[in-house]
């Protein structure tokens, strides 16, 4: 990974931090895109100390804020003219329904729309590095997406379903991106890190939820290192044994039950509808 430039969102903790460390060990120039600068800078110090790689940088990124996403992309552009790997890792699981500045339920706004906009704003840099890669951290814990009711206006809000529908969307949009970027020599993959109970994702769980997580962890739990392994592999392997747009688990492609090109395109268009009001005119839309 020497001379490769990598961005990882949510790299201050959990599997994002571990992936950043492993890629730094391989010699990559790593940008940690994080909402909390304090914890990100602390994580950076640990990574640099352990890997000896000084080319690890912290940049502020709040995926719930359009201005923050735009500012991050602009600052990155001023420093780098290429991006070899974009890892969309950051995720949110919130107990209560909140509406973002985009007018979209917050879990979807962060886990899906924030990364969608970030990817679009960095397309030129990805094209400059081609063959380049985009990696979307999804999950096996996915389903229940209703494209016409993303905001739970017809359904009662449920925090678990709100999270699950974003992970289904991540997997679906990965395949739509693959079709649209194939001519640009940019590969894109989604993956499940497996159930990693020690991540910050589950910090808002109540006592019962935390107990159930501990029980489930004994059955199917993975360590942070195991959760990050497929991310690092997809980012660094010379050749990926699997299809562009594929969904991966433990370095192997799995059949995705949400594979439906028509619905994937419809979801893409719905996301673009949400984002259209905030995009700069200079952003070139992929047709």
Provide the CATH number for the domain around residue 232.
3.40.50.720
Q: How far is the C-alpha of 26 from the C-alpha of 3, rounded, in Å? A: 10
> Does residue 217 have a pLDDT over 50?
no
* Res 197: pLDDT: 66
> Distance of CA 256 to CAs 106, 169, 205, 220, 245, Å?
25, 12, 28, 20, 10
Q: What is the pTM of this model?
A: 0.89
Among 199, 213, 91, 205, which residue's Cα sits nearest to residue 159?
A: 205
Pairing of strands 29-34, 56-60: parallel
Is residue 188 a part of any domain in this protein?
A: yes
Check: CB of residue 9 under 8 Å from CB of residue 69. no
CA 127 to centroid of chain Cα atoms: 19
| Helix-helix angle 37-51:14-25, to 10 degrees | 30
Identify whether 215 is part of a domain: yes
Is residue 287 situated within a structural domain? no
Residue 118 lies in a domain: yes
Mean pLDDT, all residues of the chain: 90
Distance separating alpha carbons of residues 197 and 187, to the nearest angstrom:
30
Query: Which whole number is the average pLDDT over 138-158?
Result: 95
**Mapping DSSP to helix (H, G, I), strand (E, B) and coil, where does residue 241 land?**
coil
The confidence score (pLDDT) of residue 214 equals 53
Sign of the alpha-carbon torsion through 256, 158, 202, 275 = positive
Confidence of residue 186 (pLDDT cuts 50, 70, 90): very high
- Which pLDDT score, from 0 to 100, does residue 278 have? 75
Task: Give the percent of the chain with pLDDT over 70.
Answer: 87
Instruction: Give the residue ranges of DSSP H helices in the chain.
Output: 14-25, 37-51, 66-79, 106-108, 115-121, 123-128, 159-181, 207-220, 224-236, 261-275
Q: What percent of the chain has pLDDT over 90?
A: 83
Q: How confident is the model at residue 201 (pLDDT cuts 50, 70, 90)?
A: low
Number of domains comprising the chain:
1
In a domain, residue 282? The reply is no
In a domain, 280, yes or no: no
In which domain, by residue range, is 16 found?
Answer: 5-275
What CA–CA distance (Å, rounded) separates 103 from 249? 33
Cα–Cα dist 5/24, whole Å? 10
Give the model's confidence band at 283: pLDDT under 50 very low, under 70 low, under 90 confident, else very high.
very low
pLDDT surpassing 80 at residue 48: yes
Residue 3 in this model has a pLDDT that exceeds 50: yes
Q: Tell me whether residue 163 is one of the annotated catalytic residues.
A: yes
**Among the listed residues 40, 50, 55, the one whose alpha carbon sits nearest the alpha carbon of residue 10:** 40
β-pair type (5-9, 252-254): unpaired
| Active-site pick, 31, 141, 163, 189 | 163
User: Model confidence at 220, in pLDDT bands (50, 70, 90)?
Assistant: low
* pLDDT grade for 196, boundaries at 50, 70 and 90: low
Any domain includes 33 = yes
Of the ranges 61-70, 245-254, 272-281, which one carries the lowest mean pLDDT score?
A: 272-281
The reply to whether 136 falls in a domain is yes
Do residues 101 and 129 touch, judged by C-beta distance below 8 A? no
Is the pLDDT at 279 greater than 70? The verdict is no
């Amino acid at each position: 990974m020497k001379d490769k430039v990598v961005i990882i969102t949510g790299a201050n903790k959990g599997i994002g931090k571990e992936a950043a460390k492993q890629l730094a060990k391989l010699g990559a120039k790593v940008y940690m895109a994080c909402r909390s600068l304090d914890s990100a800078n602390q994580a950076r110090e640990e990574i640099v100390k352990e890997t000896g790689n000084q080319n690890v940088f912290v940049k502020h990124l709040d995926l719930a804020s359009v201005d923050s996403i735009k500012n991050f992309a602009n600052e990155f552009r001023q420093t780098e003219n290429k991006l070899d790997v974009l890892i969309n890792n950051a995720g949110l699981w919130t107990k209560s329904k909140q509406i973002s500045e985009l007018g979209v339920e917050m879990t979807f706004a962060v886990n899906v729309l924030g990364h969608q906009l970030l990817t679009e704003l960095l397309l030129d840099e990805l094209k400059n590095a081609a063959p380049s890669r985009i990696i979307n951290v999804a999950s096996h814990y996915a389903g229940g997406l209703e494209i016409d009711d993303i905001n739970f206006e017809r359904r009662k809000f449920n925090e678990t379903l709100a999270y699950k529908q974003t992970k289904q969307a991540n997997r679906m949009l990965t395949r739509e991106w693959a079709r649209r970027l194939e001519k640009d020599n940019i590969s894109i993959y989604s993956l499940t890190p497996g159930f990693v109970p020690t991540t910050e994702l589950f910090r808002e769980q109540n006592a019962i939820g935390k107990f159930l997580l501990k029980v489930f962890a004994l059955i199917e739990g993975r360590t942070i290192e195991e959760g990050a392994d497929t991310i690092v592999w997809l980012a660094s392997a010379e050749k990926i044994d699997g299809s562009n747009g594929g969904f991966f688990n433990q370095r192997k492609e799995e059949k995705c039950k949400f594979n439906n090109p028509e619905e994937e395109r419809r979801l893409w268009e719905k996301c673009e509808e949400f984002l259209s009001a905030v995009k700069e005119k200079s952003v070139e839309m992929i047709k």
